[in-house]
């Protein structure tokens, strides 16, 4: 697949789940196109579409390590995102990265990902968690922040305060994840 073919696929109207799956199956053979996908996410932010972010999320679910050569570009785009659809997809990828780094202790991630990049993820996740948007990015963010708090001590107390403050007003899904996160914090004494 070429860059041009990727852009044609992304611009061909709203992609169905089957279309995304088909595109991801092609992209699995072309890890260098992840950079193009990240650029497309930024372009789609301006256009109000989300084919690139949806495709990116599904590709990362299959091949998260493809993100590593482009990790700086990924963390740089986090603060500029405004579209809830894009943020939802990217917040999910942030959660995948945090799980790989902290829970799975994946050596590739621990070697490549810097503290500065983790801090950019942390800033974005706090912004998404306290913003007035749908619950899905908030749920992904609270999990990412739980893991980030294992490295950055000040995160857990702030996360606890936010979750306790917003628990009652959250959806059932938000409350379930918040309760699990609060329980985990209690288990580790935070």
* pLDDT tens per residue across span 34-88: 999 999 999 988 887 899 999 999 999 999 999 999 999 999 999 999 999 999 9
At 165 the pLDDT is 95
Residue 134 pLDDT more than 90? no
pLDDT of residue 116: 98
Predicted TM-score (pTM) above 0.85: yes
Range of 18's domain? 3-187
Q: Which CA distances in Å does 18 have to 22, 33, 148? A: 6, 20, 34
> How many Å apart are CA 68 and CA 71, to the nearest integer?
5
The pLDDT assigned to 190 comes to 79
| Structural tokens at position 38 | 């990240």
Number of domains in the chain: 1
């Amino acid at each position: 697949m070429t860059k041009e073919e990727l852009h044609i696929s992304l611009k061909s109207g709203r992609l169905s789940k089957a279309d995304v799956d088909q595109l991801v199956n092609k992209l699995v053979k072309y890890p260098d196109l992840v950079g193009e996908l990240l650029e497309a996410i930024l372009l789609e932010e301006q256009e109000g579409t989300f084919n690139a972010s949806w495709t990116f999320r599904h590709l990362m679910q299959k091949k998260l390590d493809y993100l590593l050569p482009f990790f700086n570009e990924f963390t740089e785009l986090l603060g500029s995102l405004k579209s809830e659809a894009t943020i939802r997809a990217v917040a999910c990828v942030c959660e995948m990265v945090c799980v790989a780094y902290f829970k799975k202790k994946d050596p590739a991630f621990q070697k490549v990902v810097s503290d500065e990049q983790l801090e950019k993820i942390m800033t974005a996740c706090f912004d998404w968690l306290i913003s007035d948007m749908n619950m899905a990015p908030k749920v992904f963010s609270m999990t990412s922040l739980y893991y980030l708090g294992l490295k950055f001590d000040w995160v857990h107390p702030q996360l606890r305060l936010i979750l306790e403050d917003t628990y009652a007003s959250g959806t059932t899904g938000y409350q379930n994840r918040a309760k699990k996160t609060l329980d985990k914090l209690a288990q580790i004494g935070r």
